[in-house]
């Protein structure tokens, strides 16, 4: 029987230091992509479905009340709407709350989704983010899914370094599209302080590839997609469908049955996580000291309240982590199930 009280805030929220920076983050963060609402750019759906501004604000407030002090956003989320929601909640009261935003995704003059990492664009985009956030400085500023050659040297990096010197950002890094690209960046001399990557029970590549390199370089790791777009919540079935304005309709739905097949094999984790698969998945990520914070998405207050409890429960026991690692190495990593690039 589950003993999770969905209306009870986490009693305890641990914090971890972000690499070699002076920034400490709550172990659980709130990812605000779902709070930006539905967005269609050209032929691409880059939103996460309908949500009212009132519900988005209530979700952020529930995260704050659950002692979450780290919020992850991007200028492309809702085309600025997610940043504006954060600004409305925290304006004049940022205090110890930490925010990460991203730059690089743009809507082109032809109305399609594109990228731009020029120095001029980075500066303009940051000014726009600061206005929407109602803040003087972005704590963590990330290049959004840049190619490896952009992230290690050149105009983009020079611009970020200058903005840091000017006090407009505290530290910078990348939100990497793929773990293997993050590895390439470090091998090529990456000088940023932080990397945000996809890491979860179904995508464990980073444990043997990226984590050792990042540890040696003093790079802080932020985890996104810890619940594999909801696959690891236990709420989906093979018949689950998504609305047309949710990017998962095109990107997750076609492979959902295969992903759920793998998720079912992980149900041995449930008894130790109050019969809640989402908590087990988050606690798995927290079991790695290399991880500073686990960014969980949510579209309502109840979801984020439950997610926050993971920090109170602590990391999964080592015996469960090792069993999950063996399952990945022996089966998940060789089943031929495509892991699409869903990340916006």
Query: In the chain, what are the domain boundaries?
Result: 18-228+291-315
Instruction: Give the residue with greater pLDDT, 213 vs 334.
Output: 213
Region 57-77 average pLDDT: 97
| pLDDT at residue 343, rounded to an integer | 52
Identify which has the larger pLDDT, 146 or 230. Answer: 146
Q: Which residue has the higher pLDDT, 293 or 234?
A: 293
Q: Is pLDDT of 11 > 80?
A: no
**Mean pLDDT, range 225-235, rounded to an integer:** 91
Question: Could you tell me the two tokens for 74?
Answer: 């991007």
Mean residue pLDDT of the chain comes to 91
Reported as a pLDDT band with limits 50, 70 and 90, residue 69 is: very high
Q: What is the reported pLDDT for 8? A: 53
The pLDDT of residue 250 is 76
Average pLDDT on 88-93 reads 96
> Is the dihedral angle over the CA atoms 91, 95, 97, 102 positive or is it negative?
positive
**Residues 138 and 192: beta-carbon distance below 8 Å:** no
Region 9-35: mean pLDDT is 92
Mean pLDDT confidence for 66-91: 97
pLDDT, position 313 = 95
pLDDT at 88: 98
User: What integer pLDDT is reported at residue 3 of this predicted model?
Assistant: 39
Give me the helices (H) in the chain, please.
Answer: 53-65, 81-90, 119-133, 148-152, 155-165, 179-187, 210-217, 248-251, 256-264, 277-286, 301-313, 318-330
- pLDDT greater than 90 at residue 83: yes
The confidence score (pLDDT) of residue 342 equals: 44
| 121 contacts 158 by C-beta, under 8 angstroms | no
* Under 8 Å between Cβ of 297 and 343: no
Summarize the confidence of residues 206-232 as an average pLDDT. 96
SS3 letters across 19-36: CCCCCEEECEEEECHHHH
Mean pLDDT of 22-35: 97
Q: Is the pTM of this model over 0.85?
A: yes
95-104, 134-143, 250-259: the lowest-pLDDT one: 250-259
Name the 3-class secondary structure at 334.
helix
> Superfamily for 18-228+291-315?
NADP-dependent oxidoreductase domain (3.20.20.100)
Q: d(Cα 19, Cα 136) in Å, to the nearest integer?
A: 23
- Grade residue 257 by pLDDT with cuts at 50, 70 and 90: confident
Question: What residues contact 320, with CB distance under 8 A and at least 6 apart?
Answer: 268, 269, 272, 284
Higher-pLDDT residue of 244, 223: 223
Q: Phi/psi zone of residue 188: left (φ > 0), alpha (ψ -120 to 50 degrees), beta? A: alpha
Q: Which of 37-46, 110-119, 215-224 shows the lowest per-residue confidence on average (mean pLDDT)?
A: 37-46
Comparing 100 with 261, the larger pLDDT belongs to 100
**pLDDT by residue (tens digit) across 165-209?**
999 999 999 999 999 999 999 999 999 999 999 999 999 999 999
CB 102 within 8 Å of CB 144: yes
């Amino acid at each position: 029987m589950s003993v999770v009280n969905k209306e009870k805030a986490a009693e305890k929220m641990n914090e971890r230091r972000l690499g070699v920076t002076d920034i400490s983050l709550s172990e659980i963060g709130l990812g605000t992509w779902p709070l930006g609402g539905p967005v269609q750019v050209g032929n691409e759906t880059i939103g996460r479905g309908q949500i009212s501004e009132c519900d988005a604000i209530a979700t952020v407030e529930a995260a704050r009340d659950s002692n979450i002090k780290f919020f992850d956003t991007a200028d492309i989320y809702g085309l600025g709407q997610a940043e504006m929601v954060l600004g409305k909640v925290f304006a004049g009261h940022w205090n110890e709350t930490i925010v990460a935003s991203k730059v690089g995704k743009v809507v082109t003059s032809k109305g399609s989704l594109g990228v731009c990492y020029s120095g001029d664009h980075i500066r303009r985009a940051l000014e726009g983010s600061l206005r929407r956030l109602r803040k003087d400085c972005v704590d963590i500023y990330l290049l959004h899914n840049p190619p490896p050659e952009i992230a290690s040297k050149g105009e983009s990096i020079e611009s970020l370094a200058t903005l840091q010197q000017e006090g407009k950002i505290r530290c910078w890094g990348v939100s990497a599209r793929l773990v293997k690209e993050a590895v390439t960046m470090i091998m090529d001399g990456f000088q940023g302080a932080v990397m945000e990557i996809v890491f979860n029970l179904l995508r464990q590549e980073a444990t043997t590839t990226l984590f050792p390199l990042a540890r040696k370089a003093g790079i802080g790791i932020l985890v996104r997609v810890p619940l594999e777009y909801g696959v690891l919540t236990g709420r989906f079935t093979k018949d689950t469908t998504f609305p047309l304005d949710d990017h998962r309709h095109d990107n997750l739905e076609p492979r959902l049955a295969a992903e759920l097949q793998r998720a079912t094999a992980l149900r041995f984790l449930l008894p130790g996580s109050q019969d809640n698969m989402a908590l087990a998945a988050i606690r798995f990520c927290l079991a790695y000291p290399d991880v500073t914070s686990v960014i969980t998405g949510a579209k309502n207050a109840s979801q984020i309240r439950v997610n926050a409890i993971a920090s109170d429960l602590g990391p999964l026991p080592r015996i469960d982590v090792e069993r999950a690692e063996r399952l990945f190495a022996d089966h998940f990593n060789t089943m031929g199930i495509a892991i699409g690039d869903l990340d916006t």
